[in-house]
Amino acid sequence: MGDVYIRHIELLGYEKRFFPSQHYVYMFLVKWNDLSEKVVYRRFTEIYEFHKALKEMFPIESGDINIENRIIPHLPAPKWFDGQRSTENRQGTLAEYCYALVNLPHKISRCLHVVSFFKVRHDDMNPVTDSQIKKPEVFLLPKDSKKNLADITGPIVLQTYRAIADYEKSSTSEMALKAGDMVDVVEKSENGWWFCQMKNKRGWVPAAYLEPMDGPDESEEQDPNYAGEAYTVQKSYTAVEEDELTLKEGDTIEVIHKLLDGWWVIRKDETTGYYPAMYLQKAGEVNTSVKSELRNRGAPPRRSTIRNVKSIHRQGRKQISQETYRRNSKKYIQNHRKMQGNSQNKANVIIEKKEPEDNKPKAQPAVPPRPSKDLILNRCTESTRSKIL
């Protein structure tokens, strides 16, 4: 097995903490070469000290000897007093710094100094808190923050969900649950794995095991789109339930309903069924690491397979049956083909109407009248006049 190194570092946002005194920490999602993903928290003063030490280790690459040789990204020093505004405004610079850091030559990006700094610490998993002091406030970085950093606002109140059944974690990056546990959702991934925190614990949890507090249905759930979006299968899957589809790697399908639990309704030809979202990739997108990553991660469980569900809501979740999906999908396809046929017929009629006009023989130019004898004698040359005399 090779050395441990970091594949990607993503800035998620920052937390405003109140113990032992008010301070700010940045949240990073660190993706490792073993395909594990960890969330770590670092103060900016720590990050800057790490940066200074890295420059000392690589004086040529830091530009200390010749500024033209500098490849280590710049990082501004912390202010004498770092408040919330400076913490927030620095996020764009810090996100770019992390991206550049991981893409440096391997002797820098994979050195022990970098690896050690971003490894999970005890306080990342179990931060020191005081129940008498208010909970930390979380400020998440928007997905399109690179386009418009001015949209960063806060504090963002994390959504609270309740566990509907016991869940035993299958890896260290996940978090175990007991029925009735209350968790705050930090990140909702469309593949059905949500990053949650509960008291002093953090980890990935299947969305199927969680329910909203204000009702059984998800307000963020999208409506079906029977026009469909083209996706490519990145990993084969054999159906376990009757309403699932069996597909092979490389198959092209259409997604007609994206559900938050990570099991999407797809259409293959005229057949519909559920398929794991994490095994799909949008047609035309390029991701060289996706295949190897998928082989090491499993799809989240479906809600229909969970036993001993204990919900606080009297009504069950609204669910569209596969029969409804098939019927509406078939109806859409038929209407779409009919509209295409009508538009083609209209085009043919227009061509037929124009065709007779196009085939009409073109009119011959008018023949000018023969000039009179007097006109020839008065205006033409002597040679021409002699011919009529």
- CATH number of domain containing 286: 2.30.30.40
Confidence of residue 357 (pLDDT cuts 50, 70, 90): low
210 falls within a domain: no
265 falls within a domain: yes
Confidence of residue 157 (pLDDT cuts 50, 70, 90): low
343 falls within a domain: no
Lowest mean pLDDT among 99-103, 159-163, 335-339, 361-365: 361-365
Average pLDDT rounded to a whole number, residues 14-43:
89
How far, in Å, CA of 21 to CA of 48, rounded? 21
State whether 116 and 242 are in the same domain. Answer: no
Which carries the bigger pLDDT value, residue 295 or residue 11? Answer: 11
- Is the model's pLDDT at 223 over the cut of 60? yes
State whether 150 and 233 are in the same domain. Answer: no
Please tell me the predicted confidence (pLDDT) of residue 233: 93
**pLDDT tens per residue across span 302-320:** 988 888 888 888 777 778 8
Please tell me the predicted confidence (pLDDT) of residue 135: 73
State whether 250 and 143 are in the same domain. Answer: no
Which residue is associated with the tokens 């007097």?
374
> Do 192 and 206 meet the contact criterion of CB atoms below 8 Å apart?
yes
- CATH number of domain containing 73: 3.30.1520.10
- Is the model's pLDDT at 146 over the cut of 90? no
**pLDDT tens per residue across span 64-110:** 999 999 999 999 998 877 788 889 999 999 999 999 999 999 999 99
Please tell me the predicted confidence (pLDDT) of residue 307: 86
167 falls within a domain: no
54 falls within a domain: yes
27 φ/ψ angles, rounded to the nearest 5 degrees: -105, 125
State whether 32 and 115 are in the same domain. Answer: yes
Please tell me the predicted confidence (pLDDT) of residue 150: 39
How far, in Å, CA of 75 to CA of 51, rounded? 8
pLDDT > 90: what percent of the chain?
42
Domain boundary among 280, 303, 326: 303
> Do 146 and 152 meet the contact criterion of CB atoms below 8 Å apart?
no
* Full residue range of the structural domain in which residue 148 is found: 6-154
For 164-233, the DSSP string reads SS-B--SSTTB--B-TT-EEEEEEE-TTSEEEEEETTEEEEEEGGGEEESS-SS-TTPPPP-TT-EEEEE
Please tell me the predicted confidence (pLDDT) of residue 342: 73
> Do 155 and 137 meet the contact criterion of CB atoms below 8 Å apart?
yes
> Do 185 and 194 meet the contact criterion of CB atoms below 8 Å apart?
yes
What letters, b where the CB count within 10 A reaches 16 and e where it falls short, cover 355-367? eeeeeeeeeeeee
Which carries the bigger pLDDT value, residue 52 or residue 153? Answer: 52
- Is the model's pLDDT at 374 over the cut of 80? no
1 falls within a domain: no
pTM, two decimals, is: 0.56
Confidence of residue 345 (pLDDT cuts 50, 70, 90): low
**pLDDT tens per residue across span 249-291:** 999 999 999 998 899 999 998 899 999 998 999 888 776 454 4
Average pLDDT rounded to a whole number, residues 133-162:
64
Lowest mean pLDDT among 114-118, 211-215, 355-359: 355-359
For 216-257, the DSSP string reads SS-TTPPPP-TT-EEEEESS-B---STTB--B-TT-EEEEEE
> Do 309 and 328 meet the contact criterion of CB atoms below 8 Å apart?
no
Domain count of the fold of the chain? 2
State whether 27 and 143 are in the same domain. Answer: yes
- Is the model's pLDDT at 386 over the cut of 90? no
Domain boundary among 154, 171, 195: 154
198 falls within a domain: no
329 φ/ψ angles, rounded to the nearest 5 degrees: -65, -45
- Is the model's pLDDT at 370 over the cut of 50? yes
Domain boundary among 88, 119, 154: 154
How far, in Å, CA of 280 to CA of 255, rounded? 9
State whether 150 and 234 are in the same domain. Answer: no
**pLDDT tens per residue across span 233-252:** 999 999 999 999 999 999 99
State whether 264 and 135 are in the same domain. Answer: no
354 falls within a domain: no
Please tell me the predicted confidence (pLDDT) of residue 219: 67
State whether 233 and 148 are in the same domain. Answer: no
**pLDDT tens per residue across span 171-214:** 877 889 999 999 988 888 888 988 888 877 788 899 999 998 87
Specify the 3-state DSSP secondary structure of 356: helix
State whether 18 and 147 are in the same domain. Answer: yes
Which carries the bigger pLDDT value, residue 381 or residue 333? Answer: 333
State whether 10 and 146 are in the same domain. Answer: yes
What integer best gives the mean pLDDT of the chain?
83
